[in-house]
Amino acid sequence: MNLSDGSIEGRLDIHLSPQGGDARIVSTRPLHAAQLFEGKAIGETLKLIPLLFNVCGQAQRIAAVRAIESAAGTPAGNAVEDARDRLKQIETLREHLWRVLLEWPEFYGRQQAGDTLATLIKILEAAKLAVDPRQRLCTRPGLADADTRHGVFDELTKALNEALTRTLFGSTPDKWAALDIDDLDIWVANTDTPAANLLRMVAQRGWQTLGRTRTDVLPDLDSGRLLERLDGDNADDFIATPSWDGITGETGPAARLQTHPLLGELANEFGHGLQLRLVARLLEIARLAGALRQASPDESRFSEAPGLSQLEAARGRLCHRVVLDGDRIARYRILAPTEWNFGPQGPAIAALREIHEDDAATARSQAKLLIHALDPCVGYNLEVEEDA
C-alpha cells in the first residue's frame, strides 16, 4: 500500500435482509495504514498525516502530534492545546453542517442548501486561519505558545452564531439547545430549514424509533488498559473489531451528549433510535457554536499514558498510539470510531437488524438514514435483499 493507492480509504459493504431481520457489514478499510509511518522521522510523519487521512484530517493531525509529544515527553503549552481544541471544534462543526445542509435534503427530496453551507464554511475556514495563522500547531511538537488572532476569531464566531440562527435553527443556537421535547415538536412543525424538514419527514413516516438499540455507549477508556490492548499480541484484532468489557459501545454525538435533557426525553419517548441520533447532531452543532464563542474548554481531553492520544472527533473516539526510536517512528497504531460503530457487534449492525420492512425500496431508505446517522468515516455500498 502507498499514498498514491486510490483505495487507501476502503469502504464498507453492507448487506441487509429486512425480511429476515439480518444485516452484515464487511469492511475493506486499511486498518494497518498507520504502519506506513514506521521508520519515518517525526516531521515527515506529521506532514504525511493529512495526505493519508482526508476525513477528519484535523482531528487526525491533533491526535498524532499529541501522541508524539506524549511519547517524547515534550508537552505543548496550554495555549497551544486550547487552540488545537478550537481547530477540532471547527472541523466537527464543518463535518456536521456538511451532513445537515447537503445530505439531509436528499432524504426528503429537496435541493441541497449549498449556498448556506458555502457561507458557513467560509466563516469556519477564516476562523481556522485566525486560530492557527502560521499553520504550525500540529506540525511543531512541544510548541510553547500559540499566536491565535483572538479579536478576529471572536468576530468570526459571532458571525457564525448569527448565520446559524438565520439558516438552521430559527433562534440562537443556545436557545435551540434548551428546547424540551414539546418545544422540539413545535419547532419541527413550524420551521422550514433542512434540519426541521428531515425531522418532520421522520415523524410523518413514524420512523422516530427506527433502529432503536440498547444504549451502550463507549465509556472513557482507561489509558493503561488501552495501551495494553494496542501493544498486545492481538492488537490487530482489537483494532479491527474492538470491544471493551464485552461491549461494542456507540461513539459520536449521541454518546457524547447522552446526558442532555432533550435526548433523555427522546430516549424515554422513542428509544435510542433514528430521531435521537439526528437530534444529537443538531445539539452538537448548537453546543459547539456556543463553545467557540465563549472559548469554553474542550470536555473531551483524556489523561493518557505515554505515547497515547485519545480525542473526540466528529464521528467519535479516535485513538493514536506511537512508540518512538529517537526522532523516528518505531510503531504506530490508530483505532478509529468507524470500527466501534460499524463493527460486527456494533450499534450499526444492531440498528439495521431492527429494520423489518417488506418493501425493499422503503427498507433501503431506512437503512441509508440509519447509516447516515451513525456516519462512517468512509463510503459504503448497500445491498438490500428483496423478498423472493
**Contacts with 150 (C-beta within 8 Å, 6 or more apart), sequence order:** 130
Measured CA to CA, the distance from residue 378 to residue 367 in angstroms comes to 16
Q: Which of 62, 90, 88, 56 is nearest to 76 (CA)?
A: 62
Which region, left, alpha or beta, applies to residue 328 given φ > 0 means left and ψ of -120 to 50 means alpha?
beta
pLDDT of residue 33: 83
Asked if 335 contacts 239 with a C-beta cutoff of 8 angstroms, the reply is: yes
- In tens digits, the chain (388 residues) has pLDDT values of 344 333 457 899 999 999 878 999 999 888 788 889 999 999 999 999 988 888 889 999 999 999 999 999 999 999 999 999 999 999 999 999 999 999 999 999 888 888 999 999 999 999 999 999 999 999 999 999 999 999 999 999 999 999 999 999 999 999 999 999 999 999 999 999 999 999 999 999 999 999 999 889 999 999 999 999 999 999 999 999 999 998 899 999 999 999 999 999 999 999 999 999 999 999 999 999 999 988 766 766 777 799 999 999 999 999 999 999 999 999 999 999 999 999 988 999 999 999 998 899 999 999 999 999 999 988 999 999 987 5
**Contacts with 242 (C-beta within 8 Å, 6 or more apart), sequence order:** 248, 335, 339, 340, 343
Measured CA to CA, the distance from residue 327 to residue 112 in angstroms comes to 47
Residues in the chain, how many? 388
Determine the 3-state secondary structure of 343 from DSSP. Answer: coil
CATH class of 11-384: mainly alpha
Measured CA to CA, the distance from residue 59 to residue 128 in angstroms comes to 13
The structural domains of the chain, with segments of one domain joined by +, span 11-384
Cβ-based neighbour number of residue 74 at 10 Å: 11
Which letter does DSSP use for residue 52 in this model?
H
Cβ-based neighbour number of residue 124 at 10 Å: 20
Query: Measuring CA to CA, how many Å separate 251 from each of 55, 151, 302, 339, 348?
Result: 16, 34, 15, 10, 11
pTM of the model as a whole: 0.94
Determine the 3-state secondary structure of 147 from DSSP. Answer: coil
pLDDT of residue 52: 86
Measured CA to CA, the distance from residue 37 to residue 43 in angstroms comes to 11
Angle, helices 181-190/194-204, rounded to nearest 10 degrees:
100
First to last CA, the chain: 41
Residue ranges of alpha helices (H) inside 53-190 are 57-72, 78-98, 104-107, 114-131, 150-164, 173-176, 181-190
pLDDT of residue 300: 66
pLDDT of residue 331: 96
Query: Measuring CA to CA, how many Å separate 272 from each of 43, 50, 78, 152, 331?
Result: 43, 34, 37, 40, 38
Asked if 244 contacts 219 with a C-beta cutoff of 8 angstroms, the reply is: yes
